[in-house]
Structure 1
Amino acid sequence: MRTSSTVDTGGLALGVGAYTLWGVLPLYIHLLKGVPALQVLAHRVLWSLVLLAVIIVIFRRARPIFAAARGRTLLLLLGSALLIAINWIVYIWAVQNDHVLEASLGYFINPLINVALGFAFLGERLRRTQGVAIAIAAVGVAVLAINGGGALWISLTLAISFGLYGLLRKVAAIDALGGLTVETLLLAPFSLALLVHASQAGTGAFGQTTHLDLLLILAGAVTAAPLLMFAAAARRMPLATLGLLQYIAPSLQFAEAVLLFGEPVRTVHIATFALIWTGCALYAFDSIRASRASAAATLSE
């Protein structure tokens, strides 16, 4: 029997892999800088659906997925599909328009948004340290806003949309593969219509060069792979540990923004990130402490 202190190396590798892939996503999107953001989004949806369809056929998952996607669950997935589409389009636009710094800030804020949403909508108890962490992060956002946050809307839209997306997916009675499949199915007609219109108008990116076509087809794996890896990791790891891994992605994005893309870092950015990082550090400390206390209580029973 595995004890609570045993590290599931396979789960850890999947979790690190998922967040690393999300962390280097700006490098892929930069390769598509000449492609309109809406077309990139449409290709992400359609090629993801193709990849997911193959997986579903191989593992014979179609029947249970469509059996689950009914009534309230389908309505929740309709909402989550809209939220993830908003999140993706804002993220793609941000990367293509040299706002990776603000995008990384959004994903640093996101874990604290999740705690606040759990308290507000799921009746989860907000521990004192978590409350302090959220307050410090809020001060950081306020500092950036007061000092002319510029593209602060990017950070807040990404954090809130992904937080609400996670909330809806948490209460929807369907697994990760099924949920993602239904979401892409719901978005597919709009994506296909957009690409057909672009092709007829002569503005479609697909079909211009083999290199670009391959990059757009790769959007399916780039989108689906980290989500499926994350889902597998979540089943094998404590949530507290998985929660700490999520800082890999925005940390990589921050480094890329500064070191590779040359985005300017102003004094107000440093102050804001210092406050956000302090809040995140408190959150991480509280998560570790709570996990250890829970493990100790389980062992004593």
Structure 2
Amino acid sequence: MREPVKGVLAMVACCTVWGLSSIYYKLLEHIPPIEILAHRTLWSLIFFAFVLVVQGRFRMLLTAVGTRRSAVVIGAAALLISLNWFTFITSIQLGKAVEASLGYYIFPLVSVIMGAIVFKERLGRVQILAVGLAALAVITLTAGLGVAPWIALVLAMSFGLYGVVKKGLSVGPVVSVTAEVLMLSPIALVVLGLTHGQGGGSFASNWQDSLMLIFSGILTGLPLILFSYAAKRVMLSTVGLVQYLNPSLQFLVATLIFREAFSVWHAIAFAMIWTALALYTTSALRQDKAARRAAISP
């Protein structure tokens, strides 16, 4: 099997796990989100540390946090990803999985805006049109429902800012995320200490919950490793295209399995978002083809 094919399969597997993970967290909805987040942080740290030891790259953690600047950057990334994880888990428990999927649909367009603001990247007319259409979709949904889709906005903004912060790191994704959860682990330990100290805590209360909380670490870590594997073997345009599988599966789970409400306002907003993504993706693919032609021309 050729390397690009392996990369595409790894990317599909990664996005499938992400897209169906809402089912997993729905099974844990009787546990407070902050407790799930604490366990997800600690068990993913153990999983990532094990992977780095096996790969012989554990010492790279020292490089990741070796300077004050890198420690600050990783700390900021850690806070943003924890906000993203907490919001996603909470959205499932509140019956807002449709809105969560909207957030991950909006995310690529939020990244475009942040690239223009932070890195002074120039936007083409089609990209500006796509971003404007996405903004109009959010405004339409807000007007129709009488409340802003805060969960979608927090998910999109936190993940978009996370990407901006991560651009300042020279280490790979597995090492950087290991450093992030390492920084978050003292907070997670305090949360679990207080929870169990007050007579609560689901861990060890029954083996089903305990195993599911432990496996949340693997559920967090494995897709990231698959993503890293895929990103090295396929074009970035392909990665971006396949990534839409994640929110699409989230949307299908929310509407077909969780049976969440999907109003006419949702339908209008999602149609706008899908149109915006189609415009954005088409533009990105054209730019990628043009760049490749320029690279091979004499």
Task: Classify the TM-score, shorter chain.
Answer: over 0.9
Match of residue 3 from structure 1: none
TM-score by length of 1: 0.95
The corresponding residue for 2:63 is 67
User: For residues 35 and 84 of structure 1, do their structure 2 counterparts lie closer, same or farther at Cα, with a shift above 3 Å needed?
Assistant: same
Q: Is the 8 A contact 2:195 2:201 kept in 1?
A: yes
Shift of 1:62: 2.0
What's 2:210 paired with?
213
Corresponding letter in the other structure for 1:252: L
Taking the aligned partners of 1:200 and 1:14, their CA distance within structure 2 comes to 42
Take 1:7 and 1:297, find their aligned partners in 2: how far apart are those partners? 24
The count of corresponding residues between Structure 1 and Structure 2 is 296
Q: Deviations over 1:267-296 (max 9, x none)?
A: 100000011111001011111111111122
Structure 2's unaligned 5+ residue stretches are none
Shift of 1:297: 1.6
Structure 2 matches for 1:143-292, cutoff 5 A? Answer: 143-150=140-147, 152-292=149-289
Hey, what does 1:36 align to over in structure 2?
Answer: 32
**Which secondary structure state, in structure 2, belongs to the residue aligned with residue 236 of structure 1?**
coil
Q: Percent identity?
A: 39
SS of the residue aligned with 1:8? helix
The residue that corresponds to 2:115 in the other structure is 118
TM-score computed with the length of structure 2 as normaliser = 0.96
Stretches of structure 1 lacking an aligned partner (at least 5 in a row): 1-5
Rounded to whole Å, the distance in 1 between the matches of 2:166 and 2:235 is 18
1:53 and 2:49 are equivalent in the alignment: yes
1:216-246 deviation per Cα after TM superposition (whole angstroms, max 9, x unaligned): 1101100111112112211222111111111
* Residue 17 in structure 1 maps to residue 13 in structure 2: yes
Give, in angstroms, the shift of residue 137 of structure 1.
0.5
Contact 1:102/1:151 (CA < 8 Å) preserved in 2?
Answer: no
**Cα–Cα, structure 1 residues 71 and 191, in superposed 2: closer, same or farther, change >3 Å?**
same
State the match for 1:94 in structure 2: 91
Shift of 1:15: 1.0
Aligned to 2:154, the other structure's residue is in SS state helix
Aligned amino acid, residue 141 of structure 1: V
Distance 1:55 1:272 in 2: 41
CA shift for structure 1 position 65? 2.5
